[in-house]
Chains A and B, each alone.
Chain A
């Protein structure tokens, strides 16, 4: 997700489109990315640790983005 301090023109464009469609009460919209990564891990903690390492190394740019990791069992 683009950092809150940075201009997010995609989020703004979506916000304006929602307002133009008549959806009331729409506040700020931010547009980010949703990545689904399947990993084999012994438990959820290990899966989360590895996913965070992937975010730090490649999936997110710390200059411009914050990330959130959620683990689901498949």
Chain B
């Protein structure tokens, strides 16, 4: 069982869904308030979606200076797993823990609907239970989801296999190279604009996002049992 810290900022609104999704995958998930400086020895930290600080100035620009972010940065520097979903992705970019930035959607509309993404990298703590090329349906809910990186950075991301998810079929927001999610060079810090925590059960319309959370436990199972079926017998690929 992995310890998963879900950080709560003023304006986070996917924190409860994220906590539930991590718990449903078997993790010991708990909240950490943005003013806290102690993450309480997590295996993974998740920055959830929402509108931290009302998205004032720029999405994530103020949240990145929260007390908790120093601890998140230290956890990341030590190689600890960090996932940012939607606003969490924006915060990680603003904090410089991930390259690039997220700007206003190309067609200016706030988009809230399912999209298709392809898993491009499975050597991250949050995608190891997927197979490369898996296509998922997961919802987006963002106004500032256009991933931008200068051409040099984008080329480095592509060459280094740091594009973790890519929109397929349509690019909803005008992101560079159809990028829906990236990781850092160390591959332990990951950001994604769609919401895997909102698609982790059939009753929610599908469970394509569940393996993001199972991946954390799968790593545990793989290390200890060498068999991902060890995780609750849930829908994992062996």
Residue ID in chain B nearest A65 by CB atoms: B58
CA distance A58 to B149 in the complex (A): 19
Does B40 make an interface contact (CB < 8 A)?
A: no
Residue ID in chain A nearest B101 by CB atoms: A63
Q: Are B103 and A6 in contact (CB under 8 A)?
A: yes
Residue ID in chain B nearest A63 by CB atoms: B101
Give the segment of A7-15, A22-30, A43-51 that binds chain B: A7-15
Within 8 A of B (CB), among A56-72: 58-59, 61, 63-64
Interface residues on B, range: 20 to 34
Q: Are A9 and B148 in contact (CB under 8 A)?
A: no
CA distance A61 to B58 in the complex (A): 8
Tally of contact residues, A, Cβ under 8 A: 13
Residues of B within 8 A of A64 (CB): 101, 103, 148
Does B132 make an interface contact (CB < 8 A)?
A: no
Q: Are B105 and A63 in contact (CB under 8 A)?
A: no
Contact of A10 with B106 at beta-carbon distance under 8 Å, contacts A58-B57, A58-B61, A59-B57 already known: no
Contact of A13 with B108 at beta-carbon distance under 8 Å, contacts A58-B61, A58-B65 already known: yes
CA distance A58 to B58 in the complex (A): 10
Within 8 A of A (CB), among B88-133: 93-94, 100-101, 103-108
Q: Are A61 and B101 in contact (CB under 8 A)?
A: yes
Within 8 A of A (CB), among B130-167: 146, 148-150
Q: Are B108 and A63 in contact (CB under 8 A)?
A: no
Beyond A7-B103, A9-B106, A59-B57, 19 additional pairs, beta carbon < 8 A = A5-B150, A6-B103, A6-B148, A7-B106, A7-B146, A7-B174, A9-B107, A9-B174, A10-B108, A13-B108, A33-B57, A58-B57, A58-B62, A58-B65, A61-B61, A61-B94, A63-B101, A63-B148, A63-B149
23 contacts between A and B (CB under 8 A): A2-B103, A5-B150, A6-B148, A7-B106, A9-B104, A9-B105, A9-B106, A9-B107, A9-B174, A10-B104, A13-B108, A33-B57, A58-B57, A58-B61, A59-B57, A61-B101, A63-B93, A63-B100, A63-B101, A63-B148, A63-B149, A63-B150, A64-B103
Q: B residues bordering A, Cβ < 8 Å?
A: 57-58, 61-62, 65, 93-94, 100-101, 103-108, 146, 148-150, 174
